[in-house]
């Protein structure tokens, strides 16, 4: 399973990329707005740190607007992945970009039928938002397993990028289902490496080592 980082914070991306755990990055307009830095400059900076796909989202509503923005964003770096909304216009733009060799990530996917259309449009990634389903009292993980089942039925190449990940169990269950990618908030990525028994075990080993070497 690939790990993407769900952030536009350059320092954090730099730091975590150094651990060899970052396969790509996803951004969205809210994440970019929070960073307070120019959009294109931010994408350029991220692309120079991370080799894998870096999702940059278009804001237009129509096919023409989306393609215009996508062309600009694609010029930034080879690993820019154009993030498009899962709408009819977004699907049309996806087909066009796919046919022109551009990576795409269809975002804000909330149903299996949307995911089927995303696959038909030839997208590189489909992004079902798990946490936002959970927020409205539905089980977001069900959509991941249903998409997985349907994609397997037809040998679909589009990769399932589980998004809106909120906690460890989301990551664990996505791995069990076989999601291709999880995009993880940085704080969660660090948390995932931690276990109280690991911390306790290190302390015990250190103390025993100190005792043995002080004799």
Residue numbers at the binding site for ligand E4P (CB under 6 A): 6, 26, 28, 31, 107, 127, 129, 131-132, 163-164, 183
CB of 95 to ligand E4P, least distance (A): 21
Contacts of 135 (CB under 8 A, 6+ apart): none
Helix or strand (DSSP H, E) at 110: none
Under 8 Å between Cβ of 191 and 168: yes
Nearer Cβ to ligand E4P, position 76 or 184?
Answer: 184
String of b and e for 91-124 (b: at least 16 CB within 10 Å)? bbbbebbbeeebbbbbbbbbebebbbbbbebbbb
Nearer Cβ to ligand E4P, position 161 or 198?
Answer: 161
Nearer Cβ to ligand E4P, position 29 or 201?
Answer: 29
Helix or strand (DSSP H, E) at 50: none
Nearer Cβ to ligand E4P, position 136 or 212?
Answer: 136
Q: Which residues are catalytic?
A: 83
CA–CA distances in Å: residue 139 to residues 79, 100, 132: 32, 36, 10
CB of 131 to ligand E4P, least distance (A): 5
CB of 160 to ligand E4P, least distance (A): 13
CB of 205 to ligand E4P, least distance (A): 37
């Amino acid at each position: 399973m690939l790990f993407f980082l769900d952030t536009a914070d350059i320092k954090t991306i730099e730091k975590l990329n150094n651990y060899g755990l970052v396969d790509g990055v996803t951004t969205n307009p809210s994440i970019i707005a929070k960073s307070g830095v120019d959009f294109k400059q931010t994408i350029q900076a991220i692309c120079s740190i991370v080799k894998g796909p870096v999702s940059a989202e278009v804001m237009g509503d129509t096919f023409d607007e989306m393609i215009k923005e996508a062309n600009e964003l694609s010029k930034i770096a080879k690993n820019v992945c154009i993030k498009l909304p899962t709408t009819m216009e977004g699907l049309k733009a996806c087909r066009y970009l796919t046919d022109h060799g551009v990576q795409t990530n269809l975002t804000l996917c909330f149903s299996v039928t949307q995911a089927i259309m995303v696959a038909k449009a030839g997208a590189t990634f489909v992004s079902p938002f798990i946490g936002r389903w959970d927020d409205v009292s539905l089980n977001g993980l069900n959509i991941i397993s249903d998409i997985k089942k349907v994609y397997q039925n037809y040998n679909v190449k589009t990769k399932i990028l589980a998004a809106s990940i909120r906690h460890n169990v989301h990551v664990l269950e996505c791995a069990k289902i076989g999601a291709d990618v999880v995009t993880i908030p940085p704080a969660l990525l660090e948390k995932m490496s931690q276990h109280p028994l690991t911390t306790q075990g290190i302390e015990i080993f250190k103390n025993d080592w100190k005792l043995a070497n002080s004799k």
